[in-house]
Structure 1
Amino acid sequence: MSNALDLALKAIKANLLLESQPFETQWDLFCEQYEPLFKHVTSSKPQNAPTHHLLGILTKAHIDSQSMLQTHLKSVKKMEQVFEENLGKEKAGLFENQSLAGLVFVTHLWLYLQGYLKMDFSLANDHAQQTSVTVHSLTEQDTNALRTEFMASFYLGNQHSPIIQSANPIIKWLRSLFGG
């Protein structure tokens, strides 16, 4: 798939996430779903960097995914329970919850971009923790392990960022005062 959104994500090397996780399906679905919005915002505000448009779209996608899953949490749990009761735990486990898979993918992608843009670590960590709690409520996976996996995407983005972080603003101010 090669559309503007796909190319913008590949330009920041977000496709590196595909090497560590089986996200190809979610990648394609995400690009297909958000391509029209990406084209609209890039044509409406061409002066803004594509990464800023990506940040807006990924923030929206994350909020939408998280709230949709939270809204339907009870019914999803009930459905999984029915599958387990009727098919057995092993066969029921073969069904993939697409809403959950989408949330996990969008979270990895969003945190990657936050790292790439050298955004605040603690905010990214809070978002990773929040999503981990949601995922845990459906899968019973360890929240700390999930948060660590999500933050690995933040660090990967940070590692591939061309942005050189400047010194702390307070240090800059002190240096300006003392001529340094």
Structure 2
Amino acid sequence: MKSALGLPKKVKLKDGRIATISFLSKKDSVRELRGFVNGLVAENTYITDDKKVTLKEEEKWKAGRISAFRKRNAYQLVARIAGKIAGTTGAGRGKGKERGDVGLSLLIAKGYRGIGLGEALLRTNIQVAESFLKPKTIFLGVLAPNKPARALYKKVGFREFAVFPKWTLHKGKYVDEVFMKL
């Protein structure tokens, strides 16, 4: 059954596979979610996590995300291809006087990049954020060397508004973090 925000929804990708995008729910396996994020950590991709998460840490994260959803402060979307988590994207509002600012995240597993999944998740996330969180500003941060992600964000309409020089340690070297907003 679809929610008022149009989820779950199916998206046909460039390689012909179908992705199903839905809200994170109690039914989502904590072990599978942990496996997804730990795969990205092991790959040493462009995420800030640098150590694998425990089952307990992932349970706490999931419970927090579901609680924040109920309070209309944040949510997480999960994309599955053939029943397997291929990507996630989330949104969360700032606190206090920054409540109108909503930050987005986007994670795509190896083997699912370059097929349109990131764009489908990002566009869906923006639509949901605009309806559900009603932001003044939608923004995100991306490591400068992550050229495919930066190109995607520009394609969708994000523009750079700040750069934190040599901000994040990535593969033994400090790299710039670029902040972009719609």
Q: TM-score range by the shorter chain?
A: 0.3 to 0.5
- Structure showing greater relative contact order (alpha-carbon pairs closer than 8 Å, 6 or more residues apart): 1
TM-score, length-normalised on structure 1?
Answer: 0.33
Q: Which has the larger radius of gyration?
A: 1
The answer to which structure has the higher helix fraction is 1
